[in-house]
Structure 1
Amino acid sequence: MKHTDYRSQTVGQIVASDFGASAVFARLGIDFCCHGGVMFGEACRQKGLDPADVERELCAHNDRQGAGACPFAEWPTDLLVDYVLKIHHRNIRERGPQTAQLLGRVVEVHGGRHPELAEVARLFSQSLADLDSHLSKEEQVLFPYIYELHRAHTSGTAIAPFGCGTVEHPIAVMEMEHSGEGERFERIAALTADFAAPADACASYALAMQQLRQFRDALHEHIHLENNIIFPRAVALEQAVAMG
């Protein structure tokens, strides 16, 4: 099997080339999305992990999974944006309110014995409000320009100057907002003991924790695809189109 030189890459680059690595990083608490620019060895040391041990886990995971992981890094940029819009944006807008509603019912029933649930519900509600604004900015400003860049580069044509000056400006805002969401879900995970249902939980409580975890995991993939693949490509495309 081909050896992967993990130590010369950032954790975001590792997951971009092999999304299967995300499962290993997530289990070990290594942030590959909001802090995907951290070098592999440093990310391991920040978590008190031996990089050699993590390398072995990555290799073992790859051996078990084979080539089944979705090859996002091989997809063209416009297809990646399509995927984010139709899978992740749609998921947030459809599943998010459903989870918030379920969480509200769980707070009503179990909030007395588990007062932390009220804070979880407040944080999640604020996340949905902030994400709605975030998604709108991507849909109305950033993604249309990335589509234009992709078409211009593919066809060898020119495009009008971007209204924001350069694509790096809205990308910086999106990455800052991604970091805020990452921190918010770290707080939710801490409040819920990593989305665990306590011994006295009913089926609705357990389901709410499961849905919160699934929402967080999908958000991590969403942020990873943008921060580590789409955004760097957009910067490179803009530079290539400007050079003609």
Structure 2
Amino acid sequence: MSTATQSIREIVTSRPSAASIFHRFDIDLCVQADLSLEAACRELQLSVDQVLEKLADAEVKENGGLAFDALSVSLGRLIQHIVRVHHHCVRQDLPALAEMASNVAAKRSDRDPELVKVAEVVEELRSEMYAHIEKEEQVLFPFISQMDQASIVSYPPAHACFRSVAHPIFMMEQEHESAGHIMSELVRLTNHFETPSWACATHIALFSGLGEFEADLGQHVHLENHVLFPRAIHLETEIKARS
């Protein structure tokens, strides 16, 4: 468990995943590396208790906190979970990772020219995932939620730009596959997110954050491809049969 008296460097060394949390609070992993967490928070006028709480929450999650039972909840509840947890991860983490990748490429590409490509691919991932989750939240998810409310027996095609929920689902699955290919490229470029001996704290934080995002993306895609989407198609089939 992290403490207020540990230095930023000590905390990140023992738990690389803490780097992404520090980045969210604008704690500089290079400039403030040797400061205690308490001192760094004092400089930035942050609540050290709030930062410690976020670090503790992340540790619980890493150690296998309570699992979300995606099979037993309603489709509406499952969608809420996906948006609150996984779409939030896209919106919160990818911009920070893209910024870190750009900074690392600018400062360290003389040591590793591939860092320029890493920055380009992270930005490509950010752009694609932003567009992807917007389509889900604005079109597909409301449609599925409407079906799940059981407030209608049938619905005219004019209510959506597709005749069956299977059509946008197919497109979303294709985009999931594209995101997977982008992540695979990042794994290749970074040698499975392994930092070199000369890496600075921001470099370490970037690769750690990319590894965490890869894990979250895997959970995200699994919940949609293997739980939400099949259940939505099954529900639509039932509704059409009743009508």
TM-score by length of 2: 0.69
Question: Corresponding residue for 2:221?
Answer: 223
Pairwise CA RMSD: 1.9
Shift of 1:156: 6.6
- Alignment of structure 1 residues 1-244 onto 2, 5 Å: 69-152=67-150, 157-161=153-157, 162-244=160-242
Shift of 1:71: 2.2
Q: Which runs of 5+ in 2 are unaligned?
A: 1-62
Q: 1:130/1:66 Cα in 2 relative to 1: closer, same or farther (>3 Å)?
A: closer
Q: Which amino acid is 1:230 matched to?
A: L
Q: Which has the larger radius of gyration?
A: 2
Q: Report sequence identity in percent.
A: 33
Q: 1:103, 1:70 → 2: CA distance?
A: 32
Q: 2:93, 2:202 → 1: CA distance?
A: 16
Say which is worse superposed, 223-232 or 105-114, in terms of deviation.
105-114
- Answer yes or no: is the 8 Å Cα contact 2:97–2:122 preserved in 1: no
Q: 1:239, 1:68 → 2: CA distance?
A: 33
**1:22-65 C-alpha deviation (Å, 9 max, x unpaired):** xxxxxxxxxxxxxxxxxxxxxxxxxxxxxxxxxxxxxxxxxxx9
Aligned length: 178
Name the SS of the counterpart of 1:179 in structure 2. helix
Shift of 1:99: 1.2
Q: Which runs of 5+ in 1 are unaligned?
A: 1-64
Q: 2:81, 2:66 → 1: CA distance?
A: 18
Say which is worse superposed, 219-228 or 67-76, in terms of deviation.
67-76
Q: 2:73, 2:114 → 1: CA distance?
A: 42
Q: 1:66, 1:140 → 2: CA distance?
A: 32
TM-score by length of 1: 0.69
